Amino acid sequence: SVAGWTNQAAAHMQWFSLVYLSLCSIACAAQPLLKTRSAVHPRIADRRWPLAPPSLLTNSRWVLARHPDGAVKASDFLLVKEVVDPSALADGQVLVRVETLSIDAFIRTTLDERAYHGATPIGSTITALGLGVVVASTSCIFKPGDKVAGVLGAQTYASVPTALLTPAPQLPGMPANAVLAELGFTTGLTAWVGMHAVLGPPKRGEVVVVSAAAGAVGCCAAQMAMNRGARVIGIAGGARKVQFLTQELGLQGTVDYKDPAKSVGEQLDELCPDGIDFFFDNVGGATLDAVLARLRPGARVIVCGAVSQYDTAKLNHGQVEGPSNYLALAERGATMSGFNVMQKMHLLPWMIIRVLVSVAAGRLHVPRHTERGIERVPAALALLFNGGHVGKLLVELDDSLPAGA
């Protein structure tokens, strides 16, 4: 259920809060060394609301109108408006004005009647991670004006228990929404775990293939593999994404799965004539099959996701398109392993440090694709699966924030 997944997220969010805030404090203390202009602590500088709770507010939230049958449609959702009284918060709760929503593939998996991440009941708010500012609080942990991130839902105001939130002060030299991108559970930290902590990291000179390489997780994983000296091939769809991977990220090769003249397999044969050592898979389906047929002896396959299966009516009904070439694992002594970032939370301090160092060194960057307004949530979710974006997909609800911030 969503409640069970939420409880699990709450436990991990408290651990993330402790580690992240500690590292933020260290980074803020080091501002003079980083030559930043502001000497004001970001938790103070970012306060925009008076300490007294505001009057009645109007919350706009997206709820599930029906379980999607295949690709998500606008008719699957309903935008509900309701009055929120900040003075009516239960003990230990925080009212957050949502500024930014993270549009992630896992959201689609929660819309079916049965789901690994927990099914969203009809009439319930669409699950989403987000970033915002505290408006009112009955908690001793957060106070009005504090920046927070966590499980906020697709809405403009979120009343949530403190266990689902983490402090989100802005780090020197990083955008405010980095906690949803480079440092996000569903983005940079997921990529780091899959690339380093499941079957061991790629070795220098190895051939690494990353599917959905122009997406948020994929572009992080590809850069991390390059940072280890691997030869990286990215799989993506369309000329715009191929150009991004080769010219902006500097990948050694790209496979365009939308190429009408050559199949994914044919392109892999040209780029990887001696086979593939390491595959970071975000797609599944036919793409996974094509790579399995081209593995080198001892290859490693990391199953991060299967986006080709999410926006279908098959995912949570036992009809996922599985790999027909799985016997290649036995024939080549290869290993395939899946993971969830929450299974590796004991590595949280290390992964945050490593990601911060990579960002500071200019070796990791996630481009943002930003939609504006709460009304754009269903369209943004559809965009995630039709290939219409590059990098991290966000919905900004605060007009004062610059695009791409």
Q: Residue 252 pLDDT > 90, yes or no?
A: yes
Query: Among 300, 338, 344, which Cα is nearest to 193's?
Result: 344
Please list the residues that pair with 64 across neighbouring strands.
77
For residue range 319-359, what is the model confidence (pLDDT) as tens digits?
778 789 999 999 999 999 999 998 999 999 999 999 999 99
Q: What is the pLDDT of residue 311?
A: 72
Q: Residue 136 pLDDT > 90, yes or no?
A: yes
Question: CB-based burial of residue 4 (10 Å sphere; 0-12 exposed, 13-18 middle, 19+ buried)?
Answer: exposed
* Helices then strands, each counted (H, E), the chain: 13, 15
Q: Residue 50 pLDDT > 50, yes or no?
A: no
CA dihedral angle for residue 86, residue 88, residue 90, residue 94, rounded to 10 degrees: 0
What is the Cα–Cα distance from 78 to 52, expressed in whole angstroms?
A: 32
Backbone φ, ψ for residue 297 (5° rounding): -55, 135
Which segment of 36-45, 140-149, 235-244, 271-280 scores lowest on mean pLDDT?
36-45
Amino acid in position 8 = Q
Top-confidence residue, 356 or 318: 356
Q: What is the pLDDT of residue 30?
A: 43
Predicted TM-score (pTM) of this structure: 0.84
What is the Cα–Cα distance from 1 to 175, expressed in whole angstroms?
A: 33
Q: What is the pLDDT of residue 283?
A: 94
Q: Residue 210 pLDDT > 70, yes or no?
A: yes
Q: What is the pLDDT of residue 48?
A: 35
What is the Cα–Cα distance from 130 to 374, expressed in whole angstroms?
A: 12
Q: Residue 108 pLDDT > 80, yes or no?
A: yes
Q: What is the pLDDT of residue 307?
A: 87
Q: What is the pLDDT of residue 46?
A: 37
Q: What is the pLDDT of residue 172?
A: 79
Q: What is the pLDDT of residue 55?
A: 82
Q: Residue 306 pLDDT > 70, yes or no?
A: yes
Q: CA torsion sign, 158 to 161 to 166 to 168?
A: positive
